[in-house]
Structure 1
Amino acid sequence: MAEQEGVPNANPQIRMQVVAQFIRDMSFENMVAVKGLSASEVQPDIQVAVSMDARKRPVDHQYDVMTKYRVTSKNKVNGDVLFLLEVDYAGVFNIEGVPDEQLHAFLLIECPRLMFPYVRRIISDVTRDGGFPPLNIDAVDFVALYRQEVARRAEAQRAAQQPVN
């Protein structure tokens, strides 16, 4: 269907290009090796926390998207930390055609979703290379994380607007 003169296209073409992906920062601490625990004393309980951020770059249509993964494995027996892995993974994206009111959600849902398989592989490799079985983390629901963050910000804004008694 041809675009009518003077009438903008109702469905603009979205273009997304990954310019770069990289580890910004990473830390792995193997507390089992430090403390000298035996395998029979270890019953791991693994927690994964994910946070995200995005910002505009000086170049037109380019954005930095950062995801932070904090993986903590604790011993169910006594609560001691077995290992701690922190990975800050970033991507540079060229994005065009996304309406301004949808751009924030697009950056914090679609971009991290695209980067996830690479981060998952890094986490698996680092835990294996760090002396543990490779950890293949479950898929992350970036839509739910985005909604939680929007709700948290809205609540913080409401709290800030409440009059102090």
Structure 2
Amino acid sequence: MAENNENQTTNQAPTPEAGASNGQAAAPQGPAFALQRIYVKDSSFESPRSPAVFQGQWSPKISFNLGTKTARISDDVFEVVLTITVEAKIEENAAFLAEVHQAGVFTCAGLNDPDLEQVLSAVCPTILFPYAREAVDALIVKGSFPPVNLQPVNFDALYAQSKQRQPAAAAAGAEQPAAE
């Protein structure tokens, strides 16, 4: 990873501070964002009714859920995990369940707390989503089911909605009497 950081430094335009007499390059100014790595952290596929599920008419009800988790690895380095779960049911019987935990390691330096929260909650999942969608689709197709076309997700809008709900939820919690 040190080599990667060297590449980032050499690709930046020289600054007046870089020629300082102490011989050391100055620390980068302003916010910095970089993707270090993308990987599948976990994946699973279940088809509990196979092979009987292939005998009938294929008209499933598809449900799609997603979530994100963030963990700080070091000062400016974070792991973001996007979880996508797709379930297909025929009547009330599960045809398949596919789940992928698509993760990425991101460097986020020089950001204030609100900006950092927005980057980790919206920007990083937006980067991870196409990889997670591809991994889920591959699991489903390898299970001998037709592909599921997961539509793009607007993580910026989801983040904005969650921020709007927070004050409302806090106000609702403040209005309720304490349990005895």
> Same-fold call, TM > 0.5?
yes
Contact preservation (8 Å) 1:70, 1:85: yes
**Residues 111, 13 of structure 1: CA spacing in aligned structure 2 closer, same or farther, 3 A cutoff?**
same
Alignment of 1:24-103 (within 5 A): 24-33=41-50, 36-57=52-73, 59-75=74-90, 78-103=91-116
Kindly state the Cα deviation for residue 84 of structure 1 after the two structures are TM-superposed: 0.8
- The answer to whether the Cα contact below 8 Å between 1:123 and 1:136 also exists between their aligned partners in 2 is no
What is the RMSD of the two structures over their aligned residues, measured on CA atoms? 2.1
Q: Cα distance, 1:81 vs. partner? A: 1.6
TM-score w.r.t. structure 1 length? 0.79
Cα deviations by residue, 1:54-94 (Å, 9 ceiling, x for unpaired): 2322x22111111111111122xx23221111212211101
- Relative distance call for 1:162 and 1:69 in structure 2 (3 A) is same
Letter in 2 for 1:60: D
Q: Is the 8 A contact 2:102 2:131 kept in 1?
A: no
Q: d(CA) in 2 for partners of 1:142 and 1:118? A: 15
Answer yes or no: is the 8 Å Cα contact 2:101–2:132 preserved in 1.
no
1-side partners of 2:170 and 2:67: how far apart?
19
Residues 28 and 85 in structure 1, CA contact (< 8 A), matched pair in contact too: yes
1:141 and 2:154 equivalent?
A: yes
CA drift at 1:102: 1.3
Stretches of structure 1 that go unaligned for 5 or more consecutive residues are: 1-11
Q: Hey, what's the Cα distance between the residues in 2 that align with 1:144 and 1:23?
A: 25
Extract structure 1 runs of 4+ deviating beyond 4 A.
none
1:88-109 deviation digits (Å, cap 9, x = unpaired) = 2211101123332211011111
Report the secondary structure of 1:135's partner residue. Answer: coil
Unaligned runs of 5+ in 2: 1-28
Give the whole-Å Cα distance in 2 for the aligned partners of 1:163 and 1:132: 48
The answer to whether the 8 Å contact 2:53/2:95 transfers is: no
**Alpha-carbon deviation of 1:117?**
1.3
- Tell me the distance in 1 between the aligned counterparts of 2:59 and 2:31: 47
- Provide the aligned length of Structure 1 versus Structure 2: 150
